Amino acid sequence: MNYYIVMQGHTYLEEKEAGIIWSPQKDKSGKVPHSWNRMKEILKGDCIFHYVRGELVAISIAQSNYYEASKPGEMQSYSQWEDAGYLADLKYHELDIPLNIKASFDVILPLLPIKYSPFQQDGNGNQGYLYPCNETLAIKLLELTSDLNIYEENQEQLEFAIGSVVSRESNKLVPILAETEAEAKVKIRKGQQRYKEALAPLWNHQCALCGIDLPAMLRASHSKPWKDSAHEERLDAYNGLLLCCNHDALYDKGYIAFDGTGKIHISERIDEEDYVKYGIHPKMRVNRHEENKKYFKWHKKHVFV
C-alpha cells in the first residue's frame, strides 16, 4: 500500500459521485506536470487522502490500478483540460468531521518532504493534483483523523443513545483507519529492520563515531530521511551510517553533519563547552565510503543547521 494526497477543490463532488480520481495526461502546452504523471503510480489497494479547501474531507482506497481514460462525462465542463487522461477507481469514505490542516500544522510540518510537498510552509495547499504521502505523514494524518471521528461514549451516553452508538460502531471508517495505519507502521518497521541489517556491516557493527558496539545502543541513521527518500534510497545501505543513540539523535536533528571526507561539522547551536557532554569534538571523522558522499552532502545541505 502506498499513500497519496489528492488536491481536488472544485472537482471533488463530481469525482466523489463517480467514485474516481482523474487527471489529464498533458497540459495545453504539451508538458506533463509531475502531479498528473503521478497518477500512473496508483495501484489497487493504495490509500488516498482527499484535500478540499484547507481540509481533509475523505479517505479512499483504490479499487483498481490506474488506467488511461478520456475525461469523464461529469467533468466535460472543464474545457481547460485535454480529453486524454489517467483514471483510478476509488471507494470514498467521507469524514464526519474534516481535518483542518492549518489547525494541526505544527505536527504536520516536520513530516513534510522537501520536494513535492502537498502543503506550503504556511499550511496552504500547493497547486497541483496528486502528491506523494510518506508513511510517517500518513500515520499522523490517520491519527489526527481518528481523534476527530472516532471516540468512546461514557456510560451515560451508552444508556441514552444506544442507537447512535450502534450506528457509529458499524461505521466502515473505523476499520479503514485502523487497518491503514497498522499497514503503514508495519511497512516502516520492516523497512528499518532491513536497512539496519544491510548497513551495520559497512560500519563493523559499531558506532561510526565512538565505537560503541552494544547492539541495543545502535541505530541505523538515514542521511537523507525516510520522508524525503525515494524507495530505493530508503533501503540503500550507503544512505546513512551506524551510530549510538546519542550520536544518532544529534545527526537526525542536524546538530552534526559530515562532509565528503568524513570530517564532522558541529552546529553552532551546541556550545563548545558542551562538546564533551555530547561526546563530540571538531577533529572527529568517520571512515566513509565513496557511496556515502552524495548522501552526506544532502544531509549537510538540508538537515544540518
- Does 7 fall in a domain? yes
With residue 89 as reference, give the H or E element that holds it.
strand 84-100
- Does 91 fall in a domain? yes
First to last CA, the chain: 34
User: For 52-79, how does the pLDDT look when each residue is reduced to its tens digit (9 = 90+)?
Assistant: 999 999 999 999 999 999 988 877 777 7
Same domain, 247 and 124: no
- Does 257 fall in a domain? yes
Amino acid at 176: I
What domain count does the chain have?
A: 2
Which of 151, 181, 204 is the endpoint of a domain?
Answer: 151
**Start-end of H helices in 200-274:** 231-234, 245-252
CA proximity to 59, closest of 173, 136, 171, 140 = 173
pLDDT of residue 171: 62
User: For 86-140, how does the pLDDT look when each residue is reduced to its tens digit (9 = 90+)?
Assistant: 999 999 999 999 999 999 999 999 999 999 999 999 999 999 999 999 999 999 9
- Does 43 fall in a domain? yes
* pTM listed for this prediction: 0.84
Q: How confident is the model at residue 163 (pLDDT cuts 50, 70, 90)?
A: very low
Domain of 46, in residue numbers: 3-151
Size of the chain in residues: 305
Same domain, 146 and 200: no
User: For 215-240, how does the pLDDT look when each residue is reduced to its tens digit (9 = 90+)?
Assistant: 999 999 999 999 999 888 988 999 99
Same domain, 135 and 197: no
CA proximity to 100, closest of 142, 55, 146 = 55
Same domain, 134 and 20: yes
Same domain, 225 and 292: yes
* Distance from chain centroid for Cα 304: 20
> What single DSSP character describes residue 13?
H
CA proximity to 1, closest of 62, 56, 51, 57 = 62
- Does 46 fall in a domain? yes
- Does 163 fall in a domain? no
Angle, vertex CA 242, rays to CA 240 and CA 243, nearest 5: 115
Secondary structure of residue 181 in the 3-state scheme: helix
Greatest alpha-carbon span in the chain = 70
Same domain, 147 and 15: yes
116, 3 Cβ separation under 8 angstroms: no
pLDDT of residue 151: 60
CA proximity to 169, closest of 183, 180, 157 = 157
CATH of the domain at 113: 3.10.590.10
- Owner of C-alpha cell 494524518: 141
